[in-house]
Structure 1
Amino acid sequence: MNFRRLTRTVLTLGVLSMALIFNACKEEEEIGPAPSVTAGSAASGVVGSVAKITASINAPEGLKTLTVLKNGQTFDSKIYTGETTDNYTKDYTVENLPTGSTVVFTFQATDQKNQSSTVATQVITVSAVPAKPVVTVQGVLTGNVSWTKGNIYKLVGFVRVGGDTTETFSATAATGTLTIEAGTTIIGDRASKGTLIVQRGSRIIANGTADAPIVFTSERAPGQRESGDWGGLVICGRAVNNQSTGDKGIQLEGSYKGWHGGSNDADNSGSLKYVRVEYAGVPINPNQEVNSFTFGSVGSGTTIEYLQASFGLDDSFEWFGGTVNGKYLIAYRGLDDDFDMDFGFRGNLQFIVGMRGATMADQSGSNGFEVDNDGQGTGNTPFTAPVISNASLIGPKETNATSISPQFQNGMHLRRNNRIKVYNTVVTGYPNGIFIDGTNTQANANTGELILNRVVVAGVAGWGTGGFGEGTTTAPNGFAVRDVNTATPAAAITVGAAKPSEWFAAQPGNKILNTYAGLGLNQSVFQAVTPTFTLANGGTLAAGGTVPTGSFFSAATFIGAFGSEDWTTKWSNFSPNTTDYSK
């Protein structure tokens, strides 16, 4: 009896043990599979484009985490609350990496049972930027025409906006408005002297941005570009000049039907903002070049701001009459004059800078400012009388050892009966700082119709007597302010009864210094690099400025074009010969 009970007990315990073992095995078998991750397909993109990083995740036991690595480093992570599926996506902006580089994204998920997926991989390849299509443009543009940044526009011959090509303005001539999108590149055909001319009555709306300037440049490849590779940008308006009357205009140098002039000083030829013109100035005829920017009788309704002219074969900026105002202008390493004004130009200019290359000067003589009433110095009205504040005219002479072209002349060549008014300006590095040339111009200074106030003229340490090469035997050499003319032999000149240098020194705020050291200028403004424009602390130029009256002028207490802010940032380019504009 006891044996039977014992046997039954053992059997019962055995059955119970088997049941427990069976249930335990059953529980283990009921744990679902580990998570699975399927990564997105391999993709490619150019630098700056956006690629989608994607993965599909399946986790029967419920998702816990997802870890995404980029080239082995954390890119993203995500925590879940038991979801069994997820479609992950995140944007990746392709970084500035060499073409052909790969960026590897890996994905690994865990579930609520702490099971891990195998690693899934998505690869992004950096692809080459495709060249933009080149659209050839020629002839006359009328109506509303738009150019977009997805194309490059090639100017062949004289491309005209509007059909006004006769001496007397015709109200029935076809007109046009050319609108250019920010970031667009325009090239000029070398063989045909490609030039863009906005005729009277028409407009150009070229408003770039600091991040996406509009660029007019050479058609040639990086490293091959030269001054004079194409024409330039020409705008003809209907404001007053002192060479014509009424609707009868005058033609720009070169006789390419750039007729300009009228009777509307408020004329509006459009808007230029954040625009660069590079390697312009092709000779239309021998010794008759197009300027980088040419403004013929352009009216005050026109906007010009943030413009850079670089490596032009003639003047960087020239105004023939008109009343257009301008701010934030850069003249960089042009051949002739940085800023040329004549034929009754009466606009306001503020924050402008000119910089020269040591050997780059024109046979006619190169200046920072060249200002005339007209070619003969007549009393034709309106007089050339621009008002300029906060200019920096940086000549070619960095140090006494710097060899410069003998064709360099003056920081300011004020001649032929003009009535310019200049404030808060610095001139340095030129053989002559200021030359008030001609008896009628000197008379204008004496009567207060030509004004130079708060102008600092600084020499180069060790460069002859006074820092302007005086007394040296190597040309060019001169004076801070010329007291003699350029005749042979030289004759004394006066402003009233005083020497010009004495007259200059007596004007409010003016200074003559033997060296630019101590002004606060960075040495890089003389060099072929991206300059540091902002003033060093404690420099002479940092204080003492008072801008002229009028709503146009922005408040500024410094001398020259820059104080503590560099307005050239991002949109300017001081090494355009290395820039690839094809993409």
Structure 2
Amino acid sequence: MHINSNHRIFFLIAFPIFVISGCRKDENVKSAAVKPEKRIIEFFGSNNSVNRPAVIKLSKDTVYILDSDITRESGEQLIIEQGTVIKAGERNPSNPGSADPGRGSLTIRPGGVLIANGTEAEPIIFTSNTMAGSQRINWGGVIIEGKAPNNDRTATGVPTDFSCSIRFLRVEFAALTLRSVGNTSLVENVMVSYTDKNGISAFNISGGTFNAKNLVSFACSGPADYYITNGYTGKLQHLLAMRHPFFGNMGSQPQRALASLFIENNPSNPVNARPFTFPQISNLTAVGPNGQNGSVSSYADTNIRVASIVTTNSTCFSIRNSVFLGFPAKAWILDDVNTALAIVDSRSVMSYSYFHSLDTSKTLFLAQGVYPPFGSSDFKGYVLSPAFNNKLLPQIQSLLLPDIFVYNKPAFLPGVGSPLLTGANFSGDFSAAFYDKVSHVGAFGSQSWTNGWTNFTPLKTNYNFSL
């Protein structure tokens, strides 16, 4: 296995929640020059102030401390320059390596706007205000709320609502929530890593119509890497969900689950809530812990829904050109009759995709009693019928991804001769102009879109701390 035993010991002694791991020697992260730091609340003023500035601009020559819950209300904008670092959590002067648990969040209310356009060389970074290696508690995250349709709040919203332009953006040690975000918003090249231990998903997509590309969820601990619910109807392409074996905890949203991708219509009113959740997803790679040393017991819990993908609660979907691998027992769990009916009626389709789980007898799993008299063997036969061009993978090695489980520097590009390099299909709904018509299946082909702006070792990165 690929988890270094020395790192495992350090993990147990030094910081019991987060860890850096891998079979290669960790690279040294150099200290950047210390920039001046300012509390971000100084620019915002009180949330109740009549003198709140309509437009606030943050520049990269300053590091900003987000130690309170900040909002941008309707008619207000927050503009963040490329290369800007924002550190969340209130540091304790008597213990500089610590931060006050949960302190600091940014919320864009309906009608407010966030402009955060980084570049490949200078991404915008939201991270923890704690010393490298001691990030034990998460902060409140980034929440963007728009006016687009949402079946939990406003079914008759504004599909073309503009809430944000976020590109080359990292959110570390917290989650990103996109609620009712409209399709004129721009969401591209966004990474969320090391979300909290206590049960929040990395990307929380609640309603809305926005489209997005090049998303990364890495080493996140909550119930789902991508939680899609409440009537979301957008398009997504090139998504990576990379689970770390040390982290896996249930939460309340979604419930009883550990999954890379969890799709449901509405958790409290699944049958009648409109519009139906209906994402169109192409080129997703979902990677589970694959039985690595140190895997937490929750990945083997048979009382919860543990799988690469869970579809439930009357949802619809169209997923193509994707790879689901590395979960212990199941790759796809279908546990709801209305979701099953949508598949049988061809309203929902899974096609041109690969499935793998360590227990090959349950890779494609239909929960008992969901669609009698049919069971998992029937579900498997249906998903693998020639019309859908799906394939089972008995062994991950056949994909030629030798370094994908090197967690401090994972290599995602398939090797020469990998079946993932060809076979994608973009006919029908996937012929839309939004989709890049690539040949590869999964998130990566012969070139990586993660170079330059991502960081797979935020625990080791010194963000403006003098040493």
User: Is this a same-fold pair by TM over 0.5?
Assistant: yes
Matching residue within 201, 215, 233 for 1:315: 201
Per the normalisation by structure 1, the TM-score is: 0.65
Q: Structure 1 residue 404: deviation in Å? A: 4.3
Q: Structure 1 residue 402: deviation in Å? A: 6.5
For the residue of structure 1 that corresponds to 2:126, the secondary structure is strand
In 2: Cα distance, 1:419 partner to 1:302 partner: 23
Per the normalisation by structure 2, the TM-score is: 0.81
Q: Structure 1 residue 434: deviation in Å? A: 0.3
Q: Structure 1 residue 398: deviation in Å? A: 5.0
1:551 aligns with 2:433: yes
Check the 8 A contact 1:483/1:494 in 2, yes or no.
no
Matching residue within 163, 184, 192 for 1:269: 163
Matching residue within 117, 124, 140 for 1:214: 124
Q: Structure 1 residue 325: deviation in Å? A: 0.6
In 1: Cα distance, 2:133 partner to 2:120 partner: 25
Show the counterpart of 1:105: none
Q: Which amino acid aligns with 2:424?
A: G
Matching residue within 223, 234, 243 for 1:356: 243
Check the 8 A contact 2:193/2:217 in 1, yes or no.
yes
Deviations 1:354-397 (A, max 9, x none): 01111211134310111110014213221000000000000011
Say what the alpha-carbon RMSD is for the aligned residues: 2.4
Show the counterpart of 1:482: 365
Show the counterpart of 1:230: 139
For the residue of structure 2 that corresponds to 1:518, the secondary structure is helix
Show the counterpart of 1:452: 350
Check the 8 A contact 2:383/2:390 in 1, yes or no.
yes
Check the 8 A contact 1:356/1:526 in 2, yes or no.
no
Show the counterpart of 1:423: 320
Q: Which amino acid aligns with 2:121?
A: D
Q: Which amino acid aligns with 2:39?
A: V
Show the counterpart of 2:266: 374
Show the counterpart of 1:437: 335
Q: What is the count of residue pairs matched by the alignment?
A: 401
Show the counterpart of 1:346: 233
In 1: Cα distance, 2:452 partner to 2:86 partner: 19
1:514 aligns with 2:394: yes
1:582 aligns with 2:442: no
In 1: Cα distance, 2:345 partner to 2:289 partner: 33
| CA 1:432–1:375: 2 relative to 1, 3 Å | same
For the residue of structure 1 that corresponds to 2:209, the secondary structure is coil
Show the counterpart of 1:527: 406
Deviations 1:481-540 (A, max 9, x none): 01443xxxx887567997211111114210012111111223x32232221111101111
In 1: Cα distance, 2:374 partner to 2:151 partner: 25
Q: Which amino acid aligns with 2:246?
A: T
In 1: Cα distance, 2:374 partner to 2:441 partner: 25
Check the 8 A contact 1:543/1:559 in 2, yes or no.
yes
In 1: Cα distance, 2:34 partner to 2:377 partner: 66
| CA 1:451–1:492: 2 relative to 1, 3 Å | closer
Structure 1 range deviating more: 528-537 or 562-571: 528-537
Matching residue within 172, 184, 188 for 2:84: 184
In 2: Cα distance, 1:455 partner to 1:161 partner: 41
Check the 8 A contact 1:390/1:560 in 2, yes or no.
yes
Q: Structure 1 residue 328: deviation in Å? A: 0.2
| CA 1:98–1:415: 2 relative to 1, 3 Å | closer
In 2: Cα distance, 1:268 partner to 1:236 partner: 10
Check the 8 A contact 1:142/1:175 in 2, yes or no.
no
* Structure-to-structure mapping, 1:227-266, within 5 angstroms: 228-245=137-154, 263-266=157-160
Q: Which amino acid aligns with 1:405?
A: S
Show the counterpart of 2:66: 155
For the residue of structure 1 that corresponds to 2:266, the secondary structure is coil
Check the 8 A contact 2:39/2:67 in 1, yes or no.
no
Check the 8 A contact 2:412/2:444 in 1, yes or no.
yes
Identity %, equivalent residues? 26
Q: Structure 1 residue 442: deviation in Å? A: 0.6
| CA 1:404–1:244: 2 relative to 1, 3 Å | closer
In 2: Cα distance, 1:158 partner to 1:358 partner: 32
Q: Structure 1 residue 422: deviation in Å? A: 0.4
1:278 aligns with 2:199: no
Check the 8 A contact 2:83/2:125 in 1, yes or no.
yes
| CA 1:293–1:552: 2 relative to 1, 3 Å | same
Deviations 1:144-165 (A, max 9, x none): 1100011111123220011xxx
Show the counterpart of 2:282: 389
Check the 8 A contact 1:393/1:426 in 2, yes or no.
yes
